[in-house]
Amino acid sequence: MRMVEPGRWPRTPALLLALAALGCEIQEITLAEPEDIVIAEGHLVVTRGFLATPGGPEATTIMTARVFLHRTFPGSPPTVPATVTVRAPDGALSLELPQVGQEACRLFFLPEGQEAPPPSGSCYRLELSPSPIPPGATVELDVLTDDGRRLTSTSTIPGDFELVALESGMLDLPGGRLQPLCLVRPGTRFEVAWTSSAEAWGYLGETVIVGLDQAIPEVEVPQELYLNGLALRGDTTIVLPSDFLVFERFDLDREISLALQEGMPRGTSAVVSVSSLDRNWVNWARGGNFNPSGAVRIPSVFGAGTGVFGTAARHEFTAWALDDPTVVAQYPYCGPPEP
């Protein structure tokens, strides 16, 4: 009997014929050229705000509409010249968004002092106060590129809602605007609650915490820390700051995460916003945290391209983690600490 050395196969005629037959089945494959597709990422937000007037704070609304156009093909031109319009379905209102610098469409927060190259694409943005479009209204997006491509979408802005049991004073902002301001006890959590918003598919809580670098000097902390938390439809509460750590719990330094789980450290402040999101926004923003296979994006822009046109109604306030008697005498606590 002929022995075969380990790791070697006997070269029998039958085996050689089988390998030859397999080789005959290899076919030539032609790869298709990647398609140049325009992607529109549009968001329209109506924010509740306040103006300083001689008679006291006056409620107003602020509409911020932004659309970022870019392409899927790396070899395409870096910009997408177009006419971008937001309008009411009945034609009673039509707003053309001017083209601005790409940085104005950056959807993530860039801490102060850090720089990043502008994204490749074109940004169209418009801000108006008071907002000509109220919460609950239906709006249409129309994009006509200079090379003749048309992209369209429709969204119904979720209805307005109210922050529940939030005690606050007013903080002066540039441009004669005011923002609700309240205090939280250092080292404690505060539950932010709100009423339901009609047609909302989810709620997004966002905060920018300032002063952690002074409150936790032994750890390298950014001067401004952006955090967000998502509440699904039916949930109308979120705890500040612990519930805002959901998406950052694996990226934050352990000391920072533990500190924020207990509450806002003394001396820090946070700008907090709660937004009710429409179906388009929620379907496009689903990330790997909810889907183990990765991001699952359902488009809401159709025509000669794809993308999203999401809308939201938003409320904002500022919270200070202070217990200084002189400050307490000027501003109320937001509410009782979370049990």
Question: Which tops the pLDDT comparison, 180 or 324?
Answer: 180
Query: 99 near 127, Cβ under 8 Å?
Result: no
Question: Torsion angle of alpha carbons 320, 325, 326, 327, nearest 10°?
Answer: 10
Residue 296 reports pLDDT greater than 70: no
Residue 291 reports pLDDT greater than 50: no
| pLDDT one-digit tens code per residue, 113-147 | 555 555 689 999 999 999 999 999 999 999 999 99
Amino acid type, 144: L
Confidence of residue 233 (pLDDT cuts 50, 70, 90): confident
Tally of domains within the chain: 1
In a domain, 167, yes or no: yes
In a domain, 3, yes or no: no
In a domain, 83, yes or no: yes
Read off the pLDDT of each residue in 265-274 and give the average, rounded to a whole number: 94
In a domain, 23, yes or no: no
Read off the pLDDT of each residue in 1-14 and give the average, rounded to a whole number: 42
In a domain, 24, yes or no: no
Whole-prediction pTM: 0.83
In a domain, 111, yes or no: yes
Angle, CA 207 vertex, CA 282 and CA 51 arms, to 5°: 100
In a domain, 11, yes or no: no
pLDDT at 28: 64
Q: Which helix (H) or strand (E) holds 314?
A: strand 305-321
Query: 84 near 154, Cβ under 8 Å?
Result: no
Confidence of residue 73 (pLDDT cuts 50, 70, 90): confident
In a domain, 312, yes or no: yes
| pLDDT one-digit tens code per residue, 20-45 | 454 555 556 655 556 789 999 999 99
Domain extent, residue 212, equals 38-328
